[in-house]
Amino acid sequence: MNPDGFEVSIEGNSNKPPGRNNANDVDLNRDFPDQFDKKKYTSLQSMLVDRQPETQNMMEWILSNHFVLSANLHGGSVVASYPYDDRFDRMDAASPAPDQNLFVYLAHLYSNEHKTMHLGKHCLDEESGFKDGITNGAQWYDVPGGMQDFNYLHSNCFEITLELSCLKRPPHEQLNTEWENNREALLAYIEQVHIGITGFVTDAKTSEPISAAQINVDGISHTVASDSYGAFWRLLLNGTYTVTVSHASYQPVTKRDIHVWSGFPATMVDFQLLRDIDKTTPVAVSSAPTTMTPGSGAEISFLEPTTFQHHDYEQLKTFLMETAARCSSIMRLYSIGQSVSGRELYVMEVSNNVGVHEPGEPEFKYVGNMHGNEVVGREMLVLLLQLLCDNYGKNDRLSHLVDTTHIHIMPSMNPDGYEKAVEGDKRSTVGRNNSNDVDLNRNFPRRFPSRGNEARQPEVLAVMRWTQSLPFVLSANLHGGSLVANYPYDDTKDGRQVYSTAPDDVVFRHLADVYSFHHPRMHLGRSCDIGHGLLNEKFVNGTTNGAFWYVVAGGMQDWNYVYMNCFELTIEMGCTKFPYAAELQTYWQENEQSLISYIEEAHKGVRGFVLAEGSGMALEGAIIHVHTIDKDVSSAKDGDYWRLLVPGAYKITAMLDGYNVETHDVTVIDGVAAVLNFSLTRDPIRWLQSYDFDLAANLRADYVDDLGAAMLLLQEQYQGLVTVVELGKTAGGKSINGIELSTPQQGVTTKARVGLIGQMHPEQLIGPEMLIRLTRHLAEGVHQNDERIGKIFDTTNIHIIPSVYGDGVTMANEGDCSGRNYTGQQPLYGKLESEFAALDNSLQKHQLHFALSVESSGLGAGYAAATTLEDALLLRELAGSYEGAHPDMSSNGTCDESHAAGSTDSAMFSSYTDYAYDNYGTLMVSMAIDCCSFPPRLRLAPLWMDNLEPMLRFIEKAQQGVRGIVLNENSQLLSSNTTMLKITGPNNTLDVPMNGAEFLRILPRGHYTVTASSHGYDSLSKKTSVVEHAMSMLQLELDLEVEQIVYHDYEQISELLHELQKSHPHISKVYSVGKSVQQKEILAFEIGKSVGVRLPGIPSISFVAGLHGNEVVGREILLQFVQHLLKNYNKDDTIKELIGETSIHVVPLLNPDGAELAKPLQCDSPEGHDNANHIDLDSAFPDQGSNVKELQPEVEAITKWLKSSNFVLSISLQGRQHAIAYPPEKTETTVQRLSALYASNLQFDEEKEAKECSKKLDQTLRSPVVNGTAPRLGNNTLQAFTHRATNAMQITVFTGCCAYPGADHLPSLWQQHKDGLLAMLHEVNRGVAGFVRDLNGAPIMGAKVLVEGYDKPVYTGKKGDYWRLLLAGEYTIKVIANGYKSQIELVRIRDKHPAAIKNVQLPTDDRIIGVEPYILISVAGGITVVLMVLGLCIYACTVRSSKARYQKLENGGRHKDNSVQSCKKSLLSKEYHDSESSEDEDVYYEKQSV
């Protein structure tokens, strides 16, 4: 930490300086903020003021990382010192910290593991030693401003100070002894980071992480905080603790009886917090209106220059990606689906908390370009995004809008139509419809279905799903061709053109006025000129009722209002549908205020929450009815609702099946929405009728007398659905029965298997009661053809074991809440017990996907420690599905101590969940549903009502995941033993067992890639998203592997490439990189979503073969590679994604002249090896200093191509060897890993390779080849040039020992290399990428990007973009550009993740020859003053000399000019000082000179 001090320290020094302090002579362990100084720190920056550089850097490091444990290593004594280091009175006396016992333990641990410290011996200059080798810091001596106290007081970190040696810098011969003394102690201390408690703090509703939550342990006045992932770690000693977690925006949660064991690992305990929602009586809230009056308000200007231009699909995609990256704190780009032609339907979310619905915050959406040739809305939304991005945090109005609204902006709903439209189009229909020639604004479900409907288009279905997934409040659909704000209804029952009044007509007219009156022309209501829009159209105030203008059946705005909660307008933004780009700035100036003000309307009317009385559980789907208005809205998942209304007095009612109705009066003003919350009480009779098929037996306030008889009765009542099977016997001889619930298979043979288990604890009888009632409910649901229950049984077989340890019935006492009165023995949960053996047999037989154990003596879930993240997330979701639907668990209810389980041991009870997971992969959740171990019978009915919905939601998780079939090339089921299926998620690849040709995997929410493979077939990948309670259905049809490949000569290569371009014109292009000696074109083939255009942010990769004309395997592999990519573009999602996110360039034949001379079937023939000038091209590339004019035509062409194309990765395929070669630079571990990755896909027999290739060994390779890879030497090779002179990493793939094998070898060679080539497409998307710009946002071209520890730099392109391949890890990058100050950035790269985005802005360098201008001015001024003084002195001396010129000469005629000597002396002397100078100042200047 103090390298400057170390440099001046002296070996063998005992206790005296030099070297203790830093270069400013400051003791760094007195330089940290002190708890007893009187300064008030408001931020980290205020703490850093006047600190030393070392201290500042340490403080920033400590506070930016969530360290748990630390040690500060010192010398000069041998002792472990712990906080506090100082006292308020500065006396040398003990100053204990709140965690005194923990610190004493840590100090003891280090001391005891140290070979001598624990002896407590003192050093020579100490009066006495330290008992057991430890001490409290302040008791030893007072240290204000120490680092260990700073760690404890200002971060999560616990730190002690370790004095390791009596000598501060002992002789180097002693270091080995010091290492041996400390080695075990250092390791043992590190291990202590794992003691205590750890877990996650998440939002109870959304499961999103909560950062900065405070973790407080009862009785210890010191808190730690959760990190950005919601994770926390709190060091604690063995004991039982009460822990409370709190956060400013959430209700605190307390958990008691948390047991911490000695040693590690730490006890896992998670906390789910409920947002702190105001539940007071409904009141109208008044506030200043946020909507501006028409035409008012200052224009909000961009903070950086903006080009007003049209954006085609690729340009729009690039803009959205760049903007999302640039403003990632408030923007998230996502796609809601694809168009008919496969273009993504992009949406940008704008919020201060993207990715999650915030309860109580309105969701708003803009949709543009629904008609492909109506483009103004598309470009206005692009500009709106730029406005929000640039002004967030700088403009109060826009910042407030983003902070309080979830804004979703969809620039183009019809990207296919846009690509057909023509700039300048005023009123045509070219590009209006989608690729199926369907008008999307006539394709939504109609108000009057009798008037017909077309099949839903992909774009419409995507928007419908999107709108249904979020509780949108307000929306606008942006069109063109006229100038008016159009509001519902658009349709009429008989199709006549009349005013079609919506129930909320007054609200819609207000919303239309808001947009129109903020527009400088729209509110004037003028018609478009003749030839524009509909002729002679005039609109009062610039607004119109849709059907009054013209009738639209199947329009989007009516669908939003009629079928959803969302109010939507259609805005016609101008008379010209596709205006010229030069007009866009005017359109923006006219629409800017309208677009912003319209969003603000989402905050008007009434808002609130609908909650369950008592528990506070959010009630989803409650109807919010405004009396006198025949349009209801409903509450969202979190119980929140928004109801747009104009100012006035209203009576509003909330209704939900099973609950009593509640009505309130409310006054709405012209401002932010009035707050009106509802607390609904449950009505048992209504609940039974609404939710439980009116099954009175399920609300019976009594326990089942004879469980076996009850099960048989259900079997008799529901024959064919309920089957009772005996699983075994209890120790007391009772039958352990199971219930199997299933309906006949509907098309699939593979159903999910779910288990529900009761009475795993003999004294807990609540499980059997709940499960018998659940069986009755499920069976009756099937009997009554209930849609929800039917869907469950279509996909799921249910296995119920109501009671495992049934002997406990006679030994438990009803009403015994603690369980202490249970007279029997607790189970051991082992196979020796007959009960557990029966459970084990059932688990083994049914191989359950997941299971639920219904228990009591608590509230909440427990589950096994999963071995994969996917299983861990699914377990959390399973538990969350239950807890989120339970009224007490969802509101973080807890049990008081009187209900705590006395005879239970939670650690022991977790053993059967671990057993099920470890042995059968069954994800088992143990769910305690009541605080009382054996609740009294009067509690049974409320418990049933509380737990029916949670149990159903738990079972419905079986409908969440991926299901599908694998087919062969003839679309027949592929039931091969070699068929394998893998599912790749964000973190792991899971092997999924096949059931014949079918597969099924329950998964947590997320994005996955499903890959099927089978011997003799090409593998196939499909991407899918798993959403809550929905099964993704897939069909994977595999193609046979290529069985025959023929060789292609030059003409055939050209013909093939041009034919491929013709059949795939949108994603491929043939072009020439130059000519050979004999003037043959050197052809390149590009594959990508934007061929012919280089897009920043898209990595480019090159593949080159045929460098030696007689090495023909590489060119055929690349030709096959190109065909494979194009063939699978619309079939294999992974390949489609790779092509979409990568620019792929292939040069199959670099040496066409030599190839014409190659001898077929000749492994060693040199014919055709060189070019037509008899030059080996792979030894003809320029070294540093080479003259370009000397280059061969082929080399000149390829070097220009490589330099101009800015490739990220380059692969060269050659022959006559079997290895993957890489540049020899030791620092470039990235390219070594790429080589190893490619080689891992090949089969190497090193002895065979060494023998067969020994005569052909490439002399540039360092032999022998190890694991298929080797470094390659040589300065004039293609590889060396690429690595040295371009941005690209380069590896050389030697495809085999034979240069020209028979064509029958080509299929196996292709299969051998296919996966390696595809792997390179994946890898080129890794590393770090971004843009380098100046402070005004302008790109900086040619900036140098260096990675610390690596020799190879990369340089930015024309748009300031760069891409640097790196392995997973943390790196320091430095960006340098002429005329700018360099910048250092830290970047973290995650394994198997896309490139980390690191954008850098460089400030202008105003320095002159490396010196700041003000310093240069000061120096110049100082020099000027010195020269003036010197000139005056010389002048004075000269005058004195001239006066004495005629004096008599002395000493033999020589005149001694003492005056001149005196002047010189005065100038050089150091004896003169300022009269106010001090000794301290002299010391300071002396230090500066040193």
Q: Where are the beta strands (DSSP E) in 770-922?
A: 796-801, 850-855, 858-863
Alpha-carbon span 976 to 992, nearest angstrom:
15
Tokens read off for 407: 């804004």
Which residue in 729, 615, 597 sits closest to 680, CA to CA? 615
Strand bridging mode 1081-1087 / 1143-1147? antiparallel
| Assigned token pair, 1447 | 């004096």
Q: Starting from the edge strand earliest in sequence, which strands make up the sheet with 1354-1355, in order?
A: 1354-1355, 1344-1347, 1369-1376, 1383-1389
Please choose, from the candidates 631, 629, 609, 611, the residue with its C-alpha nearest in 3D space to the C-alpha of residue 619: 611
How far is residue 1248 from each of residues 239, 1302, 1306, measured CA to CA in Å?
63, 20, 20
- Contact present, 503 and 630 (Cβ < 8 Å): yes
**Per-residue burial over 1447-1470, b = 16 or more CB atoms within 10 Å of its CB, e = otherwise:** eeeeeeeeeeeebeeebeeeeeee
Q: Are 395 and 496 in contact (CB under 8 A)?
A: no
Measured CA to CA, the distance from residue 1137 to residue 30 in angstroms comes to: 56
Look at the block and give the residue holding tokens 């919010």: 624
Distance CA 599, CA 602 (A): 6
Q: Can you tell me the distance from the alpha carbon of 1138 to that of 1425, in angstroms, rounded to the nearest whole number?
A: 68
DSSP 8-state secondary structure symbol assigned to residue 528: P
- The token pair at 108 is 């003891």
Phi, psi for residue 1411 in degrees, rounded to 5: -115, 140
SS3 readout for 1249-1315? HHHHCHHHCCCCECCCCECCEEEECCCCCHHHHHHHHCCCEEEEEEEECCCCCCHHHHHHHHHHHHH
Q: Active site includes 163?
A: yes
Instruction: Compute the distance between CA of residue 1051 and CA of residue 1057 in angstroms, rounded to an integer.
Output: 10
Question: What is the identity of the amino acid at 793?
Answer: F
Count of C-beta atoms within a 10 Å radius of residue 1035: 10
Whole-angstrom Cα distance, residue 579 to residue 890? 54
User: Cα 129 to the chain's mean position, in Å?
Assistant: 53
Chain-centroid distance, C-alpha 37? 41
Burial of 289 (0-12, 13-18, 19+ CB in 10 A): middle
Catalytic residue among 54, 113, 163, 1249: 163
On whether the CB atoms of residues 345 and 339 are closer than 8 A, the answer is yes
Q: How many other β-carbons are positioned within 10 Å of the β-carbon of residue 93? A: 11
* Catalytic position from the list 572, 592, 769, 1086: 572
- Amino acid, single-letter form, for residue 254: T
CA dihedral (555, 561, 564, 567) in degrees, to 10, reads 110
**What phi and psi values does residue 144 have, to the nearest 5 degrees?**
-75, 140
Measure the CA angle with vertex 996, ends 991 and 1000; round to 5°: 45
Write 55-63 long-range contacts (CB < 8 A, 24+): 55/28, 55/31, 58/1, 58/147, 59/32, 59/150, 62/150, 62/151, 62/154, 62/155, 62/157, 63/154, 63/155
DSSP for residue 457: P
Dist. CA 1368–CA 1389, nearest whole Å: 5
Of 1195, 1202, 1199, 1188, nearest in space to 1173 by CA: 1195
Catalytic residue positions, numbered: 163, 572
